[in-house]
Structure 1
C-alpha cells in the first residue's frame, strides 16, 4: 500500500477513530495521542493492510486495546485502580491496617501453642484433627486453646482500642 492509497483507506478513518477514543478514554488530549499511536502502527503495517478484510475494524480494535493498556498501566503505576478513593475509604483502610497490626501483636504475645493453633485453624484453614496431628495435642485441647486464644484476642483488642 502506497501513501496515496493509505490516505484514501486509512487516514479518512481518523475522525471515527478519534470519536471512539474519546468515548473510551474520556480525555481529548489522551484520545488524540491514542489515535496518533494507532495511525503510526497502521502506517508501519501498511503492507499487510492490503490483505486485511476490514481495516476500519482493525483500527477500532487497536484503539480499544491501547485504551485498556493505558488503564492497566495507570493501575500498575499507582498501585490502585484509576478511580481515586474517597477520603472516607482511605480513612477506613488506614484504620483496618491499624486493627490488623494490633491483632498481629496480640497473637504474637499469646502462649506458643495457642498462637500456633489459632494460625493453623483461622489463617491456614486446617481441620482440628490435622492440627492435633501437627501439634501432638488432643482435639479437645486444640478446641480449648483456640477458644482461649480468641477470647484473649478479643479482650486485649477491646482494651487497646477503647480510649
Structure 2
C-alpha cells in the first residue's frame, strides 16, 4: 500500500479508533497513545494491508488489543501466591510451615489444570480481576469464565482433599 492509499484508507479511521480506545480505557491520554501505536503497527504492515478484507476491522482489533495490554500493565498486580498469608499474628513456626506447605500444594494443583482454567483462576483469585475483565481479556464469554472457574476450584478442592485424605 502506497502512502497516498494509506492516508485515504487508514487515517480517516483515527476518530473511530480513538473513541473505541477511550471507551475501553476510560482515559483520553491512554487512548491517544494507543491510536498512535496502532498507526505505527498499521504503517509497518502497510505492504500486507491489501490482503485484508477490512482494514478498518484490523485497525479496530489492533486498537482493542493495545488498549487491553495497556490496561493490564496499569492494573496493580495481586500478591504472589507464595506471599499470601492467613497470619493472625499468633502463628507458631509449625503452623507457619504447614501454611507454606498448603500454599505450595495448591500451587502445584493449579499447575496441573488445563491452561485456560489456570489462567482464569490466577486472574480471578490471585490477581483480583473481575469476571467481565477476564472475559474481555481472554475473548471468552462471561458464562464460560464462571463455568471454568467453578470447575477449576472444584477440581483443586477435590484433589486437595484427596491428598489430605492420603496423608491422614
TM-score calculated relative to the size of structure 1: 0.54
SS of corresponding position for 2:73: helix
Q: Which residue of 1 aligns with 2:62?
A: 62
Q: Which residue of 2 aligns with 1:80?
A: 78
Over 3 Å counting, the alpha-carbon distance change for 1:107 and 1:97 in structure 2 is closer
Deviation at 1:48, TM superposition (A): 0.4
- How many residue pairs get aligned? The number is 103
Deviation at 1:68, TM superposition (A): 1.3
Q: Which residue of 2 aligns with 1:131?
A: 167
1:107 and 2:95 correspond:
yes
Q: Give the distance between the partners of 2:93 and 2:86, measured in 1 at CA.
A: 12
Q: Which residue of 1 aligns with 2:45?
A: 45
Q: Which residue of 2 aligns with 1:154?
A: none
Q: Give the distance between the partners of 2:50 and 2:74, measured in 1 at CA.
A: 35
Q: Which runs of 5+ in 2 are unaligned?
A: 107-159
Q: CA offsets per residue over residues 111-148 of structure 1, 9 Å max, x none? A: xxxx8xxx7xxx96421xx335xxxxxxxxxxxxxxxx
Q: 1:26-45 alignment to 2 at 5 Å?
A: 26-45=26-45
Consecutive aligned runs of 4 or more in structure 1 exceeding 4 Å deviation? none
Deviation at 1:106, TM superposition (A): 6.6
Structure 1 vs Structure 2 CA RMSD:
3.0
TM-score calculated relative to the size of structure 2: 0.52
SS of corresponding position for 2:51: coil
Q: Which runs of 5+ in 1 are unaligned?
A: 82-93, 109-114, 133-163
